[in-house]
Each structure stands twice: as C-alpha cells, then as structure tokens.
C-alpha cells in the first residue's frame, strides 16, 4: 500500500503543479478526443491535457478501487521530448520523474 499512498500524493502534486502553471483546464475535451488509441493520445490531446484527462483519472481510479498499479513504465521521457522549449517543462518533469520512480 505504500506505493499507492506515495503515488496518490504525487498525483496530487502533479495536479497542483498543473494548476499553478495555469495548465489545468476547466472543461474536458470532447469525447472523441479522449478515445485516441495513440500513446499519450498524441493525435488528439496536448501533453498536459493527457495528464489531466487520461493519466491522473486512470491512476486515481486504480488507487481508489485498490487494483494493481501498473509498473515498469516511464512518462517523463515523453514530456522531455514533447515540451522542449516550454517554460513549464522543468517543473513538470520534477514531479513526473518522481512518479516514474514510484512505478519503476
């Protein structure tokens, strides 16, 4: 359960970081945009939209339902590439790398 507690805390940190950087959106993208089959929904969502509307809700749902948390994945490399020259990149990467460590 330590992993779930740690992950839950980091997801909260990620959410607050997105909000602080004014990257948190008030309205969800339309349903079609959320059903992409591409990794990170790269064909329909921005990287930060994917965090807000796909990653955070899915991980929260797994934690709340006490299901196994996927392991062995990393999301920070995608954000290193997709947010090049974005001022928010560094602040987000700090949190994303911490999430990567938890799910290693």
pLDDT (0 to 100) of residue 2:
57
Residues 24-40 have pLDDT tens digits of: 999 999 999 999 999 99
How far apart are alpha carbons 24 and 16 in whole angstroms?
9
pLDDT of residue 87: 80
For residues 7-40, one letter each, b for 16 or more C-beta atoms within 10 angstroms of the residue's C-beta and e for the rest, the string is beebbeebbebbeeeebeeeeebeeeebeeeeeb
| pLDDT tens per residue across span 74-90 | 999 999 998 877 788 88
* Residue 62 within a domain: yes
Higher pLDDT, 24 or 104: 24
Residue numbers of the domain that contains 9: 2-23+43-102
Whether residue 51 has pLDDT greater than 80: yes
- Domain assignment present for residue 37? The answer is no
pLDDT above 70: percentage of residues in the chain: 98
pLDDT of residue 3: 85
Give the CATH number for residue 52. 1.20.1440.40
How far, CA to CA in Å, does 38 sit from each of 44, 50, 67, 92? Answer: 9, 11, 24, 22
* Residue 72: inside a domain: yes
Percent of the chain with pLDDT over 90: 82
- Taking every pair of Cα atoms in the chain, the longest distance, rounded to a whole number of angstroms, is 38
């Amino acid at each position: 359960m330590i992993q779930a507690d740690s992950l839950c805390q980091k997801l909260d940190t990620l959410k607050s970081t997105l909000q602080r950087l004014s990257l948190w959106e008030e309205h969800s993208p339309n349903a079609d945009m959320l059903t992409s089959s591409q990794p990170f929904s790269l064909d329909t969502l921005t990287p930060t939209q994917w965090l807000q509307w796909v990653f955070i809700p899915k991980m929260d749902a797994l934690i709340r339902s006490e299901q196994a948390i996927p392991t062995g994945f990393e999301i920070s490399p995608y954000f290193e590439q997709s947010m090049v020259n974005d001022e928010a990149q560094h602040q987000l990467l700090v949190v994303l790398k911490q999430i990567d460590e938890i799910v290693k």
